[in-house]
Structure 1
Amino acid sequence: MRSLLAVLLLFSGALACAAPPYETRAEHDPDGIGKFYLGREIAHVMGPGGVPWLERPEREVEERPQLTIDALEIKPGQTIADLGAGSGYYSFRIAPLVGERGSVFAIDVEPRMLRIISERAKRDGIKNVTTVLGTPSDPNLEPNSVDLLFMVDVYHELEFPFEVMTKVREALKPGGRVALIEYRAEDPAVMIKPVHKMTERQIVRELTAAGFRHQKTVRTLPLQHLVLFQK
């Protein structure tokens, strides 16, 4: 009886995490790819041409990235994954916080972005930042290997959000966390294209569908949500 109950519980859990269907629409926002997930259109990915935007000096004032880093509560020795690392803007700021015993995985689907990170790490003698080439559906992380995975203005561009977050859940250690940082769609004063913003409600809806539990939302950032989840 216990074995049967265990099977039924596993089966019901699998159903709860079954991938909601994607939808394709002919009429859509030109800044989106025409593919929708739980009612939200997925945005086009920013390529290497966006590096000047990522590294713009005004970002320090506009977004106050140190507030994001402080809210992540990173500790020495942890393994942190920066998914959609781009030029490494956050990866290199976090590297000193995890120290020599810790690691930062800078993950991107664009090899040219990873070359930028590798070259900087070599030039600056930073040994705890490792680049990882992901795919649109898999960040390529080992199971149970990561304490915290975060994405800064990246999740809304994932072509396969359910598949990626399923892999992320597997990669987290027990009690591991995920942080999504996204421009606030509820705020018309946030002057970002609509498909590149998300509401807190939509973030929670999508991560819950992938098997995460909403832990808290940090509301100290000037333009973005910072929403934390646990495995």
Structure 2
Amino acid sequence: MSKFLHFIVTFVVILSCSLLNPSLTAQAATGAIAVYEQRIIHSPDGIGKYYMGREIAKVMGYTGAGWLERPSREGEEQPTKIVNVLNLKPNDVVADIGAGTGYLSFRIAPLLTAGKVLAVDVQPEMLEIIELFKKEKNITNVEPVLATLSDPNLPSESIDLALMVDAYHELEYPQEVMQGIVKALKPGGRVVLVEYRGENPFIMIKGLHKMTQKQVRKEMQAVGLVWRETKNLLPQQHLMVFEKPNTNS
């Protein structure tokens, strides 16, 4: 095969692949290993994008804000228990990733008498709701942060804890977001993930909105986080604790 013909064949293959997944074009050009896989046939509850064997779930938009604030949430999910086991210090800086309406942020903030909560979300509409609640509740140490799909938009080594409640499985770029979170954590900082238990088929949540502990641990290990413990104190969810290694110790 001539060099010219080889070039034409390669170009056609790359072009065909890029129609299915545009990111493959950049990967082919740089020789990078693909982090994600795009499939045409996929779950109606997913976006057709796979990460480490897991299909990423569709995001619940700001129109679902009422569900986040439903009166039955305390009984169903027991978020008070989540807050109680975080072992927060008064001067901690906590990033509530995928904060939504700030449901958890406003429950954490009063405990941080010398600290603050960074309520991170990619939807400006959710941040507007948080601003509204800040005024209504007269809570000043909750700061809305507008993130992008691939960047939590947090300064390096600025947070003590990153909390994600029923949010991680919807991240469109989980590896990039988690790399940004790891960078933002102080040495020894923690990530707490709360996800519906994927091991239990009787938990009546759509499959892609649940995660097994094994899958979560695999994905966190990929960005350098160390698993510390899993607390199964919630009715339907895992509460998993990871830590950024303290390289100075």
Q: Same fold (TM over 0.5)?
A: yes
Report the CA distance shift for 1:116/1:20 in structure 2 as closer, same or farther (over 3 A). Answer: same
Q: What letter matches 2:82 in structure 1?
A: T
Q: What letter matches 2:196 in structure 1?
A: Y
- Alignment RMSD (CA, Å): 1.2
Q: How many angstroms apart in 2 are the aligned matches of 1:214 and 1:229?
A: 4
Contact in 2 for aligned 1:149/1:178 (Cα 8 Å): yes
- Specify every segment of 5 or more residues in structure 1 that has no aligned partner in the other structure, as ranges: 1-17
Of 111, 118, 126, which aligns to 1:113?
Answer: 126
Who is 1:227 aligned against? 240
Who is 1:146 aligned against? 159
- Specify every segment of 5 or more residues in structure 2 that has no aligned partner in the other structure, as ranges: 1-31, 245-249
Report the CA distance shift for 1:148/1:79 in structure 2 as closer, same or farther (over 3 A). Answer: same
Number of residue pairs matched by the alignment = 213
Who is 1:36 aligned against? 50
Question: SS state of the match for residue 183, structure 1?
Answer: strand
1:19 Cα deviation (Å)? 7.5
Matches within 5 A, 1:60-71: 60-71=74-85
CA displacement, residues 107-162 of structure 1 (integer Å, 9 cap, x when unaligned) = 00000000000111023221100000000000000000000001000000000000
**Is 1:45 equivalent to 2:59 in the alignment?**
yes
Question: SS state of the match for residue 136, structure 1?
Answer: coil
Question: SS state of the match for residue 194, structure 2?
Answer: strand
Q: How many angstroms apart in 1 are the aligned matches of 2:67 and 2:57?
A: 17
Contact in 2 for aligned 1:108/1:132 (Cα 8 Å): yes
Matches within 5 A, 1:189-204: 189-204=202-217
CA displacement, residues 74-130 of structure 1 (integer Å, 9 cap, x when unaligned) = 12110000000000100000001111x111000000000000001110232211000
Matches within 5 A, 1:1-231: 21-99=35-113, 101-231=114-244
Contact in 2 for aligned 1:83/1:151 (Cα 8 Å): yes
CA displacement, residues 185-212 of structure 1 (integer Å, 9 cap, x when unaligned) = 1112210000000000000000000110
Q: How many angstroms apart in 2 are the aligned matches of 1:59 and 1:137?
A: 29
CA displacement, residues 23-42 of structure 1 (integer Å, 9 cap, x when unaligned) = 11111110000000000000
Q: How many angstroms apart in 2 are the aligned matches of 1:86 and 1:127?
A: 17
The alignment's TM-score, normalised by the length of structure 1, stands at: 0.90
Q: How many angstroms apart in 2 are the aligned matches of 1:52 and 1:172?
A: 31
Q: What letter matches 1:39 in structure 2?
A: G
Contact in 2 for aligned 1:184/1:197 (Cα 8 Å): yes
Report the CA distance shift for 1:29/1:127 in structure 2 as closer, same or farther (over 3 A). Answer: same
Question: SS state of the match for residue 72, structure 1?
Answer: coil
Contact in 2 for aligned 1:137/1:160 (Cα 8 Å): yes
Question: SS state of the match for residue 132, structure 2?
Answer: helix
Who is 2:21 aligned against? none
